[in-house]
């Protein structure tokens, strides 16, 4: 559980495209790290909303996850001064198998800190 962030750290959490950060890591991002209500994807405050659900809270298809990953990587690459602390996005209410999500992010840039059991 991430409780605090250094000035150069960003909390990456799984979100829905409606930007309703009502529970879990999304709620933590909203309450503690500057995630904005209504923003379902991207960098706000010291948070990055990574969409795994659509606006109706339905699981995003894999091609949309890949597009979201590409957008995230563009942000990460544009901000080499920041470290992005990645939570286990997609493994909660989105319902993706953890192994699938882990594999999706194995090519993460160096300034993305994956969960310890996702690192290869």
Per-residue pLDDT of the chain (120 residues; tens, 9 = 90+): 788 999 999 999 999 999 999 999 999 999 999 999 999 999 999 999 999 999 999 999 999 999 999 999 999 999 999 999 999 999 988 989 999 999 999 999 999 999 988 876
Residue 29: CB atoms within 10 Å: 27
Other CB atoms within 10 A of residue 110 CB: 8
How far is 73 from 55, CA to CA, in rounded Å?
Answer: 22
Cβ-based neighbour number of residue 21 at 10 Å: 24
Nearest to 102 by CA among 85, 88, 83, 82: 88
Q: Which pair of tokens denotes residue 26?
A: 């999304």
What pTM did the predictor assign?
0.94
Tokens 């209500």 sit at which residue? 37
pLDDT, residue 120, reads: 63
pLDDT at 1: 78
Specify the CATH architecture of the domain 9-118. 3-Layer(aba) Sandwich (3.40)
């Amino acid at each position: 559980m991430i409780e605090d962030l250094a000035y150069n750290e960003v909390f990456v959490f799984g979100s829905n495209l409606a930007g309703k950060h009502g529970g879990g890591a999304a709620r933590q991002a909203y309450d503690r790290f500057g995630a904005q209500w209504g923003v379902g994807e991207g960098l706000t405050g010291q948070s990055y909303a990574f969409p795994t659900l659509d606006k109706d809270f339905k699981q995003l298809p894999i091609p949309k996850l890949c597009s979201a990953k590409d957008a995230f990587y563009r942000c990460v690459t544009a901000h080499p001064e920041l470290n992005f602390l990645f939570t286990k996005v997609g493994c909660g209410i989105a319902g993706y198998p953890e192994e699938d999500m882990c594999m999706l992010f194995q090519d993460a840039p160096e300034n993305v800190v994956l969960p310890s059991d996702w690192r290869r």
